[in-house]
Amino acid sequence: MVERVEAAVQDIEAFLAVAQTGSFTRAAESLGTSKSNVGKAVQRLEKRLGTRLFQRTTRAVRMTEDGETYLRAAHVALAGLRDAEQELAARKSEPIGRVRLDVPAGFGRLLLPGLAELQRRHPKLTLEMALSDRMSDPVAEGWDIVVRIGHLPADGEMTVRKLCDLRLGLYASPDYVKRKGPIDSLAELNTHDAVIFRGPSGRLRPWTVSDAGNVRDMVMEPVLVLADGQALVDAAANGFGIVQINDRVARPYVEAGRLVHILPAADVDGPPVHAMIPLGLRMPAKTRAVLNHLADSLRE
């Protein structure tokens, strides 16, 4: 079976060489074989297809209409095979070089411990990481991987891979809850201190909550407004008030006793997290290693 496939590919390569050079002799020279072998390869291909691909005369070789149709298909097929070969080679090669990541501030600090382990496994890998909540231009700024929560650009310059889903919940420090008292209902939130996030658009982000199964927005009067996702978490951990953040970012703070989960029944589905990679013929091994690590760690 493998031998038949290899022979078929060789016949297609012979056909392409004749089409490109316009000569069986020059095609043989480019392939490093004999004119007779090229002629037999084209004949086998024509027999298999049941049509003539070339009109041959003593002076010239011209492609038929069927030959032109097959030429277009052959180019696409061989390009796909070359891409597949490059991808398989990339998977086997060692991740070497620099990978530039742009990650939301709070989320990036969540990923740092795992990325340190990745770098220890691949010491020839260098990571450059920007932690920012602004909407960067992935292509213009030369990022290898951009992690985005929620909104994705509507252009076709990036390959998108979903990393995980999030849940949004309300959190505050144990000290704040002790000082202000326990919270038993959504109505009580209006008497509490709210730390609110200002998104890249400049708009204050309302809290989205589940109220007896109905999802609604709560516009809170803030005691503190922050445009940095990590600062939002730090403010809550330091007792400023209540914040709404995603479960992935909150989890290590809850486990460390720095935050407590308030009104879990009010949690709602949050936005998905995606990784975006610039389009190209193949993904370098270094980028693939980082991307797969992100996907695996967030899946856990």
pLDDT of residue 148: 87
Q: Given the DSSP bridges, would you call strands 97-103 and 125-131 parallel, antiparallel or unpaired?
A: parallel
Residue 161 near residue 295, CB atoms below 8 Å: yes
pLDDT of residue 23: 87
State how far the Cα of 218 lies from the Cα of 208, in Å rounded to an integer: 6
pLDDT of residue 150: 79
pLDDT of residue 87: 63
Q: Please tell me whether residues 112 and 81 are part of one structural domain.
A: no
For residue 19, give the nearest of 51, 58, 66 by alpha carbon. 66
Name the token pair of 216. Answer: 């609604």
Q: Please tell me whether residues 287 and 138 are part of one structural domain.
A: yes
pLDDT of residue 277: 85
pLDDT of residue 263: 96
For residue 67, give the nearest of 55, 77, 58 by alpha carbon. 55
Residue 114 near residue 87, CB atoms below 8 Å: no
pLDDT of residue 136: 66
Residue 276 DSSP SS3: strand
DSSP state of 238: T
For residue 251, give the nearest of 107, 105, 104 by alpha carbon. 107
Amino acid type, 209: V
* 103 φ, ψ (degrees, to nearest 5): -135, 140
pLDDT of residue 253: 94
pLDDT of residue 9: 78
Name the token pair of 221. Answer: 């009067």
Name the token pair of 6. Answer: 């290899």
Into how many domains does the chain fold? 3
pLDDT of residue 296: 87
Task: Point out the domain boundary residue: 59, 92, 125.
Answer: 92
Residue 227 near residue 233, CB atoms below 8 Å: no
**What residues contact residue 146 under an 8 Å CB cut-off, 6+ apart?**
101, 102, 103, 136, 138, 158, 275, 276, 277
- Looking up tokens 């919270």 gives 183
Q: Please tell me whether residues 51 and 191 are part of one structural domain.
A: no
Count CA within 13 A, CB hemisphere, residue 242.
27
Cα separations in angstroms, 292 against 12, 16, 55, 198: 36, 37, 51, 31
pLDDT of residue 212: 86
pLDDT of residue 107: 77
Q: Please tell me whether residues 172 and 265 are part of one structural domain.
A: yes
Task: Point out the domain boundary residue: 92, 114, 142.
Answer: 92
Q: Given the DSSP bridges, would you call strands 97-103 and 145-149 parallel, antiparallel or unpaired?
A: parallel
Residue 48 DSSP SS3: helix
- The radius of gyration of the chain from alpha carbons, rounded to an integer in Å, stands at 29
Q: Please tell me whether residues 159 and 176 are part of one structural domain.
A: no
Q: Which residue segment(s) compose the domain that 290 sits in?
A: 97-164+272-299
State how far the Cα of 191 lies from the Cα of 234, in Å rounded to an integer: 22
DSSP state of 203: P
Q: Please tell me whether residues 136 and 173 are part of one structural domain.
A: no
Q: Please tell me whether residues 277 and 153 are part of one structural domain.
A: yes
Task: Point out the domain boundary residue: 92, 117, 134.
Answer: 92
For residue 276, give the nearest of 99, 107, 134, 153 by alpha carbon. 153
DSSP state of 216: E
- Give the chain's residues under pLDDT 50: 2
Q: Please tell me whether residues 12 and 105 are part of one structural domain.
A: no
Name the token pair of 165. Answer: 């889903």
Q: Please tell me whether residues 276 and 151 are part of one structural domain.
A: yes
Q: Please tell me whether residues 244 and 179 are part of one structural domain.
A: yes
